[in-house]
Amino acid sequence: MNYAGLLTASFFCAAAVSFLTTPLVRLLALRFGVLDAPTSAVKTHKEPTPVFGGIAIYMGFIATMILLRMTTSFPTGTLYNLRALVLGGSLVFALGLLDDLKRPEGVDYKPKFLVQILAAMLLIVFGLRMRFLQPAYVAAFVTTLWVVGVTNAFNIVDIMDGLSASQAAVAALAFLMISLPSEELYVNFASAALAGAALGFLPWNLSKTRKIFMGDCGSLLIGFLLAGVSLGTRYSDVNDAGVFAPLLILFVPAFDTLFVSLLRLNQGKSPFLGSRDHFALRLEKMGFSRRRVVLMAATAAGFMGFCAFLVTQLPLENAVAVYLVVAILVAWVGRRMALVEMS
């Protein structure tokens, strides 16, 4: 079986379906008036914009999974794991779609967290959990926190055209790169399909004349899928410190989530309420264009993905050195970002 060819086909199939479907769902959103209007000071766009882009990302991913199921004879475990991602992803996608349809109020955060927890538990039932933790109930609890956290991190970071989609594509490719040597097939193919689906949507998200947002149905979906694929790769074959590699791969959305939450709590505000204190908006305030901010964030994600690869391949002392360098850089960047005055 030519897995390299299948991975390439999965990437381009998802990209093609997502790219071709996005303008159709944009017309659907316009037809039914499902728009994100800049009705509050937190919004950064200027005019009402369609928000059904996540449907195209979902269709690109699901179409690829169906095509693989119909044309490929995978080991039983691979299909089982992919089924977990499809079922859990569909549940989170439906939650996000409902949230988009109920704009501008959206779904209350309590039922949103409940559905996300159920989706995370679905992964655990299918055997996708943190295996380095014992006993099993501790692994299940931490896995649930991880999945819910990553799912919402991509929702939080989706505040600028191209930011969330580009982060998803870079992270998915990083998980693919790390998982290839171990032949974790479900991670390989899910990562390739997700990267393709995100990149297929990206040109429309960046378009000046036919712009569309991915909406919560897209941002929650890609966050959940990335959390799911992160559970399937062995990171500590060379050294035990490699187990933290997913934190590096998902560094940008994780950093923004933690950074924003700490700032809001320090100001006596709820971390669940929107504000303009994201790192991307602070970079814009420093004078960088939005395209440059997205490119800088994608470059940072690529660098962190490379660091994640290093810590899974190097001896323990060298891996610890990589973590130390990253920690110093993060502390410096966080300090610089916090000094930027935001209205």
Give pTM, 2 decimals: 0.93
Q: If you average pLDDT over residues 121-136, what whole number do you get?
A: 90
- Three-state DSSP class for residue 139: helix
18 belongs to a structural domain:
yes
Residue 274 has φ and ψ, to the nearest 5°, of -70, 155
Q: Provide the residue range defining the domain that includes 168.
A: 3-338
Nearest to 219 by CA among 11, 81, 53, 82: 53
252 belongs to a structural domain:
yes
Q: How far apart (Å, rounded) are the C-alpha atoms in residues 301 and 303?
A: 5
343 belongs to a structural domain:
no
174 belongs to a structural domain:
yes
Q: What pLDDT, in 10s, does the model give residues 243-275?
A: 999 999 999 999 998 888 887 777 766 666 666
Domain count, the chain: 1
Q: What pLDDT, in 10s, does the model give residues 71-122?
A: 887 777 788 889 999 999 999 999 999 999 887 778 888 899 999 999 999 9
Task: Tell me the pLDDT of the chain averaged across its residues.
Answer: 89
Distant-in-sequence, close-in-space partners of 96: CB < 8 Å, separation ≥ 6: 54, 215, 216, 217, 218, 219, 220, 221
DSSP codes joined into one string, 288-310 = --HHHHHHHHHHHHHHHHHHHHH
- Tokens representing 257 are 């989530």
Q: How far apart (Å, rounded) are the C-alpha atoms in residues 127 and 88?
A: 13
200 belongs to a structural domain:
yes
Q: How far apart (Å, rounded) are the C-alpha atoms in residues 197 and 146?
A: 23
